[in-house]
Structure 1
Amino acid sequence: MPIRTHRGRAAVYRRLWGWPLRSPRHLVVALVVVVGAATVVGLLLPDPPPQQRSPTYTAEPGGDVRAEAPTQPKSPPTLSVPQNAPPPARPSPRGVAVADAWAQRFTAFRPGMDEQRWLDGLRPHTTDEFITEMASVDPANAPSAVTGRPEPGPATSTSMVVRVPTDLGPLRVTVNRTPDGWRVATYDREG
């Protein structure tokens, strides 16, 4: 039977969908009908089959048949976090020398100098991960001179912090021991 109204098909649909919102009683009736329909559908559907792998059989050339046990799903990898901090150690003179050489190269940028040349000077003293981060540093904002001797700070057998005084304030340079030797892993300005 066609829909014949002067307001058109949209008015009929609006009236049907708007019925639950006309009164609280209509809303409760609509919710009961929806919950009842979902329950009936859930009861009528069969239970899903359990997901179980059957053993696989392989035949040996001699005629023996072996069954391989089904493999268990792999659990996600776990991260082991050390419970104790590494023991403190004496600062390595080589690590301090790398921090000093890095700071000398870091402050070596002059106006008109190519930034890639500046980065290439830092590369031998910097970890591969940190050199990519250093590519985003504007060398014009770097200090222009080291003003004193580097002072080693807290250290472990694989890492140390070295304080390097510069004309724009001290730098805290973190040096890590890598398979290639000591390399600068990060730096911060004090203050």
Structure 2
Amino acid sequence: MPIRTNRGRTAVYRRLWGWPLRSPRHLMGTLVFLAILVTALGVVLPKVVGKPQAKASPTTGTTTSVTATPSGLAAPVPTSNLPTRLATPLATPTPTTPNGDAIRVAKAWAAAWVNHPAGITSEQWLAQLKPLTTEEYLPVMSTVDPANIPATKVTGEPVPGTSYPKSLQVTIPTDGPKLAITVVSTNAGWRVADYDQAS
């Protein structure tokens, strides 16, 4: 076992590292000294390294300018030329007179919806509805099993409901439940975008 003496480099290191642990006063003095050292480095290093240059962000269209804070540190301040509010408020659609083409599409769609003779496949039934249905609503309709549809014929004329320039609600009676059909104006013309059983 080596003999420890008070001489040599190891003894000096041992005395330096052991000094803060000799008493609570030494420990507090060491912590205060380290806090002052870290703070001084935080103030001095940015001045030595230099200030960052202002850059333009190519992806967001914003620029970053650099301003000096009271402590002398450079702080980036983001600026933007994008508007913070809508230039014009969104307009609320106003009710209009029901469109005759929209009513005809709703009636034809209801006639195709109730047309499901025994043995018809889901693909054949969906093919009848496809020309009258929006592309977005076709995947929803593909989940319907025509054998579960309780109606077999349309029993009355369409009754227009809420009408806007680009959409119309139509109720159509059948020998099963009444159909509440939503028809919307698309690039391809009026198409059914939704339906439900009316009360």
Q: Using structure 1 for the length normalisation, give the TM-score.
A: 0.60
* 1:73 maps onto 2:61 in alignment: yes
TM-superposed CA distance for 1:112, in Å, is: 1.6
Counterpart of 2:22 in structure 1 is none
Contact 2:163 2:169 (8 Å CA) reproduced? yes
Could you say if the C-alpha distance between residues 177 and 53 of structure 1 is closer, same or farther in structure 2, counting changes exceeding 3 Å? Answer: closer
Aligned residue identity for 2:121: D
| Higher RCO (C-alpha 8 Å, min separation 6) | 1
Counterpart of 2:65 in structure 1 is none
Q: 1:104 aligns with which of 102, 105, 111?
A: 111
Counterpart of 2:134 in structure 1 is 127
TM-superposed CA distance for 1:53, in Å, is: 4.4
CA–CA distance in structure 2, aligned partners of residues 99 and 166 of structure 1: 13
* Local SS of the residue matching 1:100: helix
Alignment of 1:1-191 (within 5 A): 46=46, 49=52, 52-53=55-56, 73=61, 83-145=90-152, 146-191=154-199
CA–CA distance in structure 1, aligned partners of residues 45 and 176 of structure 2: 74
Contact 2:151 2:177 (8 Å CA) reproduced? no
* Local SS of the residue matching 1:168: coil
Aligned residue identity for 1:177: S
CA–CA distance in structure 2, aligned partners of residues 100 and 79 of structure 1: 40
Aligned residue identity for 1:188: D
TM-superposed CA distance for 1:143, in Å, is: 3.4
User: Where is the strand percentage greater, Structure 1 or Structure 2?
Assistant: 2
Could you say if the C-alpha distance between residues 125 and 49 of structure 1 is closer, same or farther in structure 2, counting changes exceeding 3 Å? Answer: same
The sequence identity of aligned pairs, in percent, is: 40
**Which runs of no fewer than 5 residues in structure 2 stay unpaired?**
1-30, 63-81
Q: Using structure 2 for the length normalisation, give the TM-score.
A: 0.58
* Local SS of the residue matching 2:119: coil
CA–CA distance in structure 1, aligned partners of residues 103 and 171 of structure 2: 9
Q: Deviations over 1:45-67 (max 9, x none)?
A: 7488355249xxxxxxxxxxxxx
Could you say if the C-alpha distance between residues 139 and 50 of structure 1 is closer, same or farther in structure 2, counting changes exceeding 3 Å? Answer: farther
CA–CA distance in structure 2, aligned partners of residues 71 and 136 of structure 1: 42
Q: Deviations over 1:147-176 (max 9, x none)?
A: 211111111121100001122221110011
Aligned residue identity for 2:158: P
Structure 1 ranges of 4+ moved more than 4 A: 39-48, 78-82
TM-superposed CA distance for 1:111, in Å, is: 3.1
